[in-house]
Amino acid sequence: MITIPSFRTIAPFYPENPPFSPGLRYPEYSFGSLSSQGNEVYDAVRSLLFQMGFDKEHFGTPEWNPFSHLIKPGDRVVIKPNWVHHMNPAEKDMLGMVTHTAVIRPVVDYVVKALGDSGEIIIGDAPIQSANFKLLMRKTGMDQTLDFLESKTRSAIRLKDFRREITVRKKGIVLSREFRNEGEFLEVNLKEKSFLYDIRQDYRKFRVTNYDKNKMLRYHNEKDSIYVIHKDVVDADAIIYLPKLKAHRKAGITNCLKNSIGINGQKDCLAHHRKGSLAEGGDAYREKDILKRLKENIAEVFDRSGNKNIQRILRFVNKIVHRLDLVYRKDPFFEGSWYGNDTLWRVILDLAIILFHLKPDGQIGDDVQRQILYVVDGIVAGEKDGPLRPSNKKLGVLAAGDNPLFLDVACARIIGFDYTKIPSLYQGLVHGLFGLDTERVIDEKLYMNSKLITLKALNPVSALVPACGWIDHIEL
């Protein structure tokens, strides 16, 4: 690791009103506007960056520039939040589902400082294909915050939707599709470097819920493992990730590593699970089950069919089969939403490798190709049915670092999860990614509220309830 990762705990609340300016006039702050209600989140992000030692010699002066080691004037900088969807059906708000704009705002301010009124800032993500991006920006206050920032700097700041395909659905039925300019994306073929390569014989079983299985064959087969990466990410000089800390139905946890999913613009190339039970070479569920297999087949016909009448009939039949399954099922798992999912971790690690090592020509290099930093929003975390229906959990945690694997391992402990039971984390350690391994990681150091400790000494701040398919498995 280049820097020692840093964690801070604060009151688990966000300020309410955009543009989420600080409540104090810091020496380095030059935007004028202050919040009359205060802003502990802005204070905490600032303290977190200082705690990591960024430009420590200038702290407390107008010259303090905490991102000066990452960003130079004229750079192109991508800021990547977690903007998965425009609504959370489990809550009246999205506090535990998406990165709060109060965390994004100070990061943008310090990027502007580093760029010196030059360069370009792109704030973007690839939410699920049915998400309403404009509504998401309005509900999070990001549109108002951007309007404020654009009036304060000569650096170009743009909001960007990283999706190649956008769909409008009603009750699962696709009403319309919009396809973006192909020139904005780069297809990256990892081939034998992919973690999916070891299970390539199962490629016909690769699935992602609500998408046509046949389209995935174009991206993943016996020879290819292709991802579709937005060129703004490829061309970035520096990327700052702002993940939301959540439980995840299929991955166990979503945080730094899982947030790399959002640089991929085509959901058809994201293999989330394999069709069938373990005994059938799949990982969608544990025991052989005729009703679950029937549900899988109905879903596949539904996703391939363009006939809305047929889709309505299939939805009705699926409801009947689902009710029968609730009565007779052998286990509660389905669609890879459980701890036996052996597919998704491979995609997560593939995209992390792409993020760090992808060269502009589409090849994977040995050296890290761009500066990357993570700032984790765990102030209000998401528990239970994440990532799309999480319940809010007031946690009060912020974290930052440049090693996504170690940050995820530490965040897992903070929420009471056993990182050795989370496939993306355990397999990352087994494969020695990011300079870590299973034996040494427990002795790695971090700052917790300015106190230097080892991971071994890091205690949970508050235990999150895991997603249902991980209960009684993932907990410490």
Q: Can you spell out the DSSP letters for 396-415?
A: EEEEEES-HHHHHHHHHHHT
- For the residues 209-216, what does the mean pLDDT come to? 86
Q: Which two tokens stand for residue 203?
A: 């490629």
| CA 167 – CA 155 distance, rounded (Å) | 32
Q: Which residue has the tokens 């640089």?
A: 263
**DSSP string of 354-368, one letter each residue:** HHHHB-TTSPBPSS-
| CA 26 – CA 29 distance, rounded (Å) | 5
Which pLDDT score is estimated for 1? 42
Q: Which two tokens stand for residue 396?
A: 């009060």
Q: Which two tokens stand for residue 269?
A: 């190339």
402: left (phi over 0), alpha (psi -120 to 50) or beta: alpha
| Cis omega (within 30 of 0) for bond into 127 | no
| CA 377 – CA 101 distance, rounded (Å) | 10
Q: Which two tokens stand for residue 470?
A: 């991980």
Please report, in angstroms and rounded to a whole number, the separation of the first and last CA atoms in the chain.
25
DSSP code of 5? -
Q: Which residue has the tokens 């699935």?
A: 207
Residues 97 and 382: beta-carbon distance below 8 Å: yes
Residues 167 and 177: beta-carbon distance below 8 Å: yes
Residue 169 vs residue 446, higher pLDDT: 446
pLDDT digits (tens, 9 = 90+) for 391-411: 999 999 999 999 999 999 999
- For the residues 453-458, what does the mean pLDDT come to? 96
pLDDT above 80: residue 31: yes
Which pLDDT score is estimated for 118? 93
| CA 10 – CA 13 distance, rounded (Å) | 8
Q: Is 425 helix (H, G, I), strand (E, B) or coil?
A: helix
Residues 227 and 264: beta-carbon distance below 8 Å: yes
Q: Which residue has the tokens 């960056």?
A: 49
pLDDT above 90: residue 348: yes
Which pLDDT score is estimated for 416? 98
Residue 86 vs residues 83, 131, 195, 230: alpha-carbon distances, Å: 8, 6, 31, 21
Which pLDDT score is estimated for 325? 87
| Contact residues for 303 (Cβ-Cβ < 8 A; gap 6+) | 210, 211, 212, 213
Work out whether the CA dihedral 167, 355, 435, 49 comes out positive or negative: negative
297: left (phi over 0), alpha (psi -120 to 50) or beta: alpha
- For the residues 87-104, what does the mean pLDDT come to? 97
Residues 346 and 336: beta-carbon distance below 8 Å: no
Residues 69 and 218: beta-carbon distance below 8 Å: no
Q: Which two tokens stand for residue 390?
A: 């999480």
- Cβ of 462: how many Cβ atoms within 10 Å? 17
| Cis omega (within 30 of 0) for bond into 89 | no
| Contact residues for 439 (Cβ-Cβ < 8 A; gap 6+) | none
Enumerate the β-bridge partners of residue 236. Answer: none
pLDDT above 70: residue 2: no
| CA 61 – CA 352 distance, rounded (Å) | 36
Helices and strands, counts by H and E, the chain? 11, 17
pLDDT digits (tens, 9 = 90+) for 227-282: 999 999 999 999 999 999 999 999 999 999 999 999 999 999 999 999 999 999 99
Residues 148 and 17: beta-carbon distance below 8 Å: no
Which pLDDT score is estimated for 311? 85
Please, what is the average pLDDT of the chain?
94
pLDDT digits (tens, 9 = 90+) for 144-200: 999 999 998 989 999 999 999 887 767 667 667 788 888 899 999 999 999 999 999
pLDDT digits (tens, 9 = 90+) for 119-138: 999 999 999 988 999 999 99
